[in-house]
Copies of this chain bind each other. A is one copy, B any other.
Amino acid sequence: MNPVFSRRVPEGDNIERAVCERCGFVDYDNPKIVVGAVVTCGPRVLLCRRAIAPRKGLWTLPAGYMEHGETPEEGARRETYEEATADIVIEGLLAVYTIRRLGQVQLIYRARMEAGAFAPGPESEAVGLFAEDEIPWDAIAFPTVHWALAHARQPGGPFVNPPGGDESGPDAPPYTVTGA
């Protein structure tokens, strides 16, 4: 059994929403928050090779959906532990990226690992620490990973999408960041 959604304006609202014809549930389709981190260990940065679709086999930052009951910083730490078995210290907010097409806001933090200990979690095939010239630039999973790695080399922030980095057009690649 599944919900059957059709789009209409619920009573008292002024925007068309997905309403379930079976039970009347209104899906407000609010943007979801993805939390993640650019984690450094000395001069190296932590990347995870995806064990799951989409973009299986490509490299990404530890990131996933923020859960109810946690702060964004706690969520970024949790995701890094889940995907890379690494304990991190959050240093500050690096970037707020908007993926309009997916209704996502990504809060990406600067963080550091004090121990060099890490291991792939269930959603990662491999985890590694990479110096700038070792990063697998041709095998990065998502444009936002490129953005965050570039922003992390600059002081300051929080940064937003780079110019042209608005993926709401029809040619936009799939930016899905998984992780429940």
Contacts and interface: CB of A to CB of B under 8 A. Distances in A.
Interface of A: 1-4, 13-15, 20, 22-25, 28-33, 65-73, 93, 96, 98, 100, 103, 105, 107, 158, 160-161, 168, 180
B67 A15 contact: yes
A180 B30 CA distance: 10
B1 A33 contact: no
25 contacts: A1-B23, A2-B23, A2-B24, A3-B20, A3-B24, A4-B23, A20-B23, A22-B23, A23-B25, A30-B30, A30-B32, A30-B65, A31-B68, A33-B105, A69-B103, A69-B168, A70-B98, A71-B98, A71-B100, A72-B98, A72-B105, A73-B160, A93-B96, A93-B158, A158-B158
A24 B23 CA distance: 10
A20 B93 CA distance: 36
B2 A100 contact: no
A70 B2 contact: no
Given A68-B103, A72-B105, A100-B69, A3 B31 contact: no
A14 to B, nearest CB: 8
A180 B3 contact: no
Contact of A23 (B23, B28, B71): B23
